[in-house]
Amino acid sequence: MGTEPFYQAPLYPYVLAVCFKVLGEAVTSIRVVQTVWGAAACGLIYFGTSRLFGRGAGMIAGMMLALYTPAIFFDGIVQKSSLTCLLVCALFAAVTRRNTNALHALIIGAIAGLLVITRENAMVWLPILGAWVWTNCRLSIVECEMRHEGKKARRDGENRGWVAIGHTSLVWGWCWGRWGCGMRR
């Protein structure tokens, strides 16, 4: 760990230390690891973009990152840009997932935390990311309630869609009044 405070973000030096310990002290091994990170980042961009815009757009986005000259260059030098690219792409892929639960929110938070200790200026995005996760978790609860009520209506042989919407609106209103406005009773 050391006794002195860090001059730069600490994650990349720790990752380098682990790579040197496991793979030996050759710079080529670090370049290979960073190349694997670059390839993984292309796949993560593909998954995130596919969720938002379809497989064709995901393929184009993944190929664009794979052919992006600065990304190729930074994967070849020992610098934290490669790890940053991987973490940003992982965060993008995690954030674009449709249904968010507590475990998924924890994963998003862990990736964001790793990004912050790689690039300190990523901390600016934390409030926005937190608001997004909070809103998406609440929307997932509402969708789950609607799905549950919809299945019950089909099973009973009656159309109870309006009941599901009304129930969901009540749940949403209660949640918004309880946690959304900041007024706790």
Q: Are 151 and 135 contained in the same domain?
A: yes
What are the residue ranges in the chain where pLDDT is below 50? 152-185
Distance between CA atoms of residues 15 and 29, nearest Å: 12
pLDDT at 147: 58
DSSP 183: -
Q: Are 18 and 39 contained in the same domain?
A: yes
Q: Are 100 and 130 contained in the same domain?
A: no
Q: Are 181 and 90 contained in the same domain?
A: no
Q: Are 108 and 146 contained in the same domain?
A: no
pLDDT at 140: 59
Q: Pick from 84, 102, 118: which residue ends a domain? A: 118
Q: Are 2 and 55 contained in the same domain?
A: yes
Residue-range definition of the domain harbouring residue 23: 1-118
pLDDT at 132: 80
Q: Are 8 and 92 contained in the same domain?
A: yes
pLDDT at 133: 77
The predicted-structure confidence for 97-130, as pLDDT tens digits, reads as follows: 877 677 888 888 899 999 999 998 888 888 888 8
Alpha helices in the chain (DSSP H): 11-23, 27-53, 55-67, 69-76, 81-95, 102-116, 126-156, 161-175
Q: Are 114 and 129 contained in the same domain?
A: no
Task: Return the C-alpha torsion angle 52, 57, 59, 61, nearest 10.
Answer: -90
Q: Pick from 118, 149, 175: which residue ends a domain? A: 118
The predicted-structure confidence for 14-32, as pLDDT tens digits, reads as follows: 999 999 999 988 999 999 9
Task: Return the C-alpha torsion angle 29, 35, 41, 46, nearest 10.
Answer: -140
